[in-house]
Amino acid sequence: MISPLLNSAIEMFEHAVEHYLAGNDRDRKLMVLHCDQAVELILKDKVRDSGESVFLKNGQTITYHDAIRLLENKGVKIPEKPDLELLHDQRNVIQHKGAQVSQSDAEFYIRKSLEFVKRFLSDELDKMIEDMIDRRYLEVFGIEAAEIPFTPESERDIEDISEMLTHAREFEILAHKYLESLGLVDIHRYTASKLIQKLRTSGIRIKVEDKNKLKQFFAIRNQIAHTDYVPTKVEIKPLITSIRKLNWRLRQKLTD
């Protein structure tokens, strides 16, 4: 049986491969974000598997660094840690500064992520990567994969969720860039809810109705990442519309 955390991690890695293959500037950035999230979720799943909760008292989940610390304290070896830290640092630079990712760097991050995912699944979670990731994604890297059913319905689900996660990441990047343009500092800990609040107090008009939709949007995003919840098209579409409008307004503000 696969936990919701691990299932989300696998989906994130597959999305990362899709962005890697697209090969443009925007997709290379999203590839890094999705690789990092896949790594973090796999680490958290091992924390869960070891008997520790990944949730804090305030309802938030443990961080990437918390997960590594907890696992190392339990004797779990992570030889890829230096490369994973480079990936996580690049993720932070992209999310907070909007940095670009070169093709050679993208190649490094995707292959190092793959090496970690493959080894960690086998050594720590007793899973074979060939049995979990769709063969189309593994064959890109020369790995022979087992035949895994991939129905049209699951493709549509993945497309909807991928679009949702892409807009969520874009919002976080744009919001951080906009707030930094106003001279704000120490914003690396802002949650999506806090970002919305900061935007409202810094000149971005967000109606109460839209604010509530955005909060619902990110609540669903968190459910997707940490549980086996799969939202419906009817549920997702109006929320995506709201965040797309906000992202457009942020892009306009940044180019004024």
pLDDT tens, 53-70? 998 887 788 999 999 999
Give one DSSP letter per residue of 182-251, joined into a string.
Answer: TT----TT--HHHHHHHHHHTT----HHHHHHHHHHHHHHHHHHHSS----HHHHHHHHHHHHHHHHHHH
Burial of 151 (0-12, 13-18, 19+ CB in 10 A): exposed
Burial of 242 (0-12, 13-18, 19+ CB in 10 A): buried
Whether 24 has a pLDDT exceeding 50, the answer reads yes
State residue 151's pLDDT score: 39
Task: Please say whether the beta carbons of 172 and 158 come within 8 A.
Answer: no
State residue 65's pLDDT score: 93
State residue 225's pLDDT score: 67
Q: Spell out the domain ranges in the chain.
A: 4-141, 152-255
State residue 235's pLDDT score: 74
pLDDT tens, 97-156? 888 899 889 999 999 999 999 999 999 999 988 888 877 777 777 765 544 443 334 444
Handedness of CA 139, 145, 148, 154 (dihedral sign): negative
Q: Which residue has the tokens 């925007």?
A: 26
State residue 44's pLDDT score: 95
Of 27-36, 97-106, 110-119, 234-243, minimum mean pLDDT range: 234-243
Whether 201 has a pLDDT exceeding 90, the answer reads no
- pLDDT over 70, % of the chain: 86
C-alpha–C-alpha distance, residues 55 and 52, integer Å: 9
C-alpha–C-alpha distance, residues 217 and 102, integer Å: 31
CA distances from 17 to 159, 203, 244 (A): 14, 37, 24
C-alpha–C-alpha distance, residues 69 and 85, integer Å: 13
Of residues 198 and 135, more confidently modeled: 198
Q: What is the mean pLDDT of residues 241-246?
A: 82
Q: What is the mean pLDDT of residues 218-230?
A: 72
Q: Which CATH class is domain 4-141?
A: mainly alpha
C-alpha–C-alpha distance, residues 1 and 58, integer Å: 29
Three-state DSSP class for 79? coil
Whether 2 has a pLDDT exceeding 60, the answer reads yes
State residue 15's pLDDT score: 87
State residue 190's pLDDT score: 63
Of the candidates 209, 231, 228, the residue with the CA atom closest to the CA atom of residue 220: 231
State residue 182's pLDDT score: 77
> Model pTM?
0.61
C-alpha–C-alpha distance, residues 82 and 91, integer Å: 14
